[in-house]
Amino acid sequence: MKMHPNKSKALITRLIRTIFHFVRVSLTQSRVFAAIALTAATSFGLQANQAEMADNTVTNQFKEVDTLFSNPGQGWMAFAQHSPGWKTHHVDEARFPCSVIYLRFNWADVEPEEGRYNWKIIDDATNYWHLPGAAIALRVMCTSMHSAGKYCSPKWLFDDGCRGFEYQEGSRTIDGKNNTRIEPDYSDPIFLAKHAAFLAALGKRYNGKSNVEFVDIGTYGMWAEWHTHHPASLAVRQQIVDMYLKAFPNTPLVFMTDDSETLGYSLAHGVGLRRDGVGADSYNARWAGSPDYARSPGMADAWKKAPVVFEWWDDYDYLKSRGWSFEAAVNFMLNNHVTMINDNIGQVPTEEMPQLEKLARLSGYRFVLREVTHEKSVAAGSDLHINMKWANVGVGKLYRHFDLQVALLNPTGQVVDTLKVNTDPREWLPGERNIAVSMPLPSELQLGEYTLAVALTDPAGHLPPLNLAMDAPDKDGWYRIGHIIVK
């Protein structure tokens, strides 16, 4: 039987199409099968790699401790005050660890003759404090109702024609007689010129020194607290502030909150806060946000740039005699980011000491390394990966330059490799932060086991490493946080 040519062609065409369809389906299925196989293999490999990475990491957690310790520019200050009749400075025995001694002195004692300076008064206070990293804080007084004699400002100043205001207010001399004292006229051009020269000399000697923690912008008013019965104009008060800014460009400055008008000018120049008189209920209410400080914008955030220093109104017994709350005073300081506290609180009952200890412990910065994750083993010449969870559990911040460093210690405890971490601890405000580190290891690093350690160090080498509030063992400021094997 013969097939018609057209039918024959149609049959051949259908046959060819069927064959191509079969081939196409087979190829598609092959690709699908291949893709499934590849995905499975990749997934298996990824899971295996992740499992291998997880198996090569370790996480160590650390507990926060309540230990009281001293760190630069933080916590308790011992109080010293110079008197010409004393053989040495009077230094209240520090009830807590501290790294700052606060010194007030009369201008007349340091410059008894014009241009002749008795720096021994300040240097003796520095030398008295035999602790590594100890520093002083300074205030210059020009009048005080507690002075032993008439002159806090030099007698030669008034002999040169500077106007002054005599008064008999305040304490009596040792023999019980009223003592006439004198306060300079701060607006007098003679005072402004002579005092500017004195502050310039003071700054030349002490500006930027590692053993000077801060300087009060003092000079003006009773005890240099910026309140007086003989006020000068705002322009003159700002001129006094400018003297300090010029003399101490590299030293933290703090300004008394008593003069709210001049305070705004000081804050605009990056100056910190100081209040003498914490404890009075009504005085505590006068702070940032109150109508009294409407002319001091930025007061609430001043602590983010410069220190906040507080001093008690009087001792504990006086506060209680006035019906003022000791706990409220402690909380006022903590809530307003206190950096340092002057110890003039006197004897405190045993039951109140936990409050005082909390204040000393949380003032300023207080760093804790809560957790670290790192590889158990790593090849020499590769990167060691470290993840750290840090916290600042204090109420303030660090103002000095310190570096966060990680290190490898050999079995004898010797540092064999270090890395300065790309972070600035001065930016660690209260709260937590995660820090990831890739530490390149030298290819020539000897194989074996090492201890991983961290430290916060002074790049200039003047100050010891910071104490950390964590339960890791430490030596020479290096806290041991883990172990790794270099292979």
User: pLDDT by residue (tens digit) across 36-89?
Assistant: 333 443 343 334 344 445 689 999 999 999 999 999 999 998 876 655 433 333
Q: pLDDT value at position 124?
A: 81
Residues 299 and 287 in one domain: yes
Residue 146 forms part of a structural domain: yes
Residue linked to tokens 């600035």: 424
Structure tokens at 73: 């520019």
Q: 136 and 188: one domain? A: yes
Residue 393 lies in a domain: yes
Domain membership of residue 39 (yes or no) is no
Structural domain of 120: 75-362
Instruction: Find the DSSP H helices in 228-362.
Output: 234-247, 260-267, 281-285, 316-321, 326-335, 353-362
- The beta-strand segments (E) located in 191-283 are 212-217, 253-256, 272-278
Q: Are residues 125 and 141 in the same domain?
A: yes
Q: Given phi > 0 = left and psi -120 to 50 = alpha, else beta, which region is 183?
A: beta
Amino acid at 270: G
Answer yes or no: is 478 within a domain.
yes
CATH code of the domain containing 146:
3.20.20
Residue 32 belongs to a domain: no
- Would you state the pLDDT for residue 179? 81
CATH code for position 406 = 2.60.40.770
Tokens of 195: 């005092």
Helical spans, DSSP H, in 56-116: 107-110
**CB-based contact 74:99 (threshold 8 Å):** yes
230 shares its domain with 100: yes
CB atoms within 10 A of CB 487: 10
- 89 closest CA partner among 105, 107, 77: 105
Q: In what order do the strands lie in the sheet with 383-392?
A: 57-61, 367-375, 383-392, 431-440
Give the residue with greater pLDDT, 87 vs 117.
Answer: 117
User: Is-contact 168 180, C-beta < 8 A?
Assistant: yes
Q: What pLDDT does residue 147 have?
A: 86
CA distance 248 to 242: 10
Cα atoms found within 13 Å of the Cα of residue 446, Cβ hemisphere only? 9
- Per residue in 299-314, pLDDT (tens digit) is 999 999 999 999 999 9
Q: Report the pLDDT value the prediction gives residue 171, as an integer from 0 to 100.
A: 60
- Of 338, 362, 386, the domain-final residue: 362
* In the chain, % of residues over pLDDT 70: 83
Which backbone phi and psi does 173 adopt, to 5 degrees? -75, 175
Strand partners, 379: none
Two structure tokens written together for 63: 């507990």
* Tens-place pLDDT, residues 225-245: 999 999 999 999 999 999 999
Overall average pLDDT of the 438-453 stretch? 96
Task: Kindly state whether residues 373 and 345 are assigned to the same domain.
Answer: no
* Tokens found for residue 203: 């700054």
Q: Is residue 26 part of a domain?
A: no
What is the tens place of the pLDDT at every residue in 365-385? 999 999 999 999 999 999 999
Greater model confidence, 99 or 472 = 472
292 and 258 share one domain: yes
Computed over its alpha carbons, how large is the radius of gyration of the chain?
34
Domain end marker among 320, 344, 362: 362
Average pLDDT over the chain, rounded to an integer: 86
Among 335, 362, 389, give the residue marking a domain's end.
Answer: 362
Residue owning tokens 């602790």: 131
- Strand-pairing partners, residue 466, are none
Query: Which of 272-286, 314-328, 409-423, 467-481 has the least mean pLDDT?
Result: 272-286
Predicted confidence at residue 82, as pLDDT, reads: 55
Provide CB contacts within 8 A for 67, sequence distance 6+.
467, 469
Residue 416 has pLDDT above 90, yes or no: yes
| Cross-strand pairs, 405 | 420, 455
Helix, strand, coil content of the chain in percent (nearest 5): 30, 25, 40
Say how many domains are in the chain.
2
Q: Where does the pLDDT of residue 156 fall: very low under 50, low under 70, confident under 90, or very high at 90 and above?
A: very high
The verdict on 327 and 466 lying in the same domain is no
Question: Is residue 24 domain-resident?
Answer: no
CB-based contact 486:441 (threshold 8 Å): yes
Q: Which two tokens stand for residue 293?
A: 């400080």
Could you tell me the CA-to-CA distances from 342 to 90, 99, 102, 300, 304 in Å, in that order? Answer: 14, 12, 7, 21, 20
Sign of CA dihedral 119, 125, 128, 134: negative
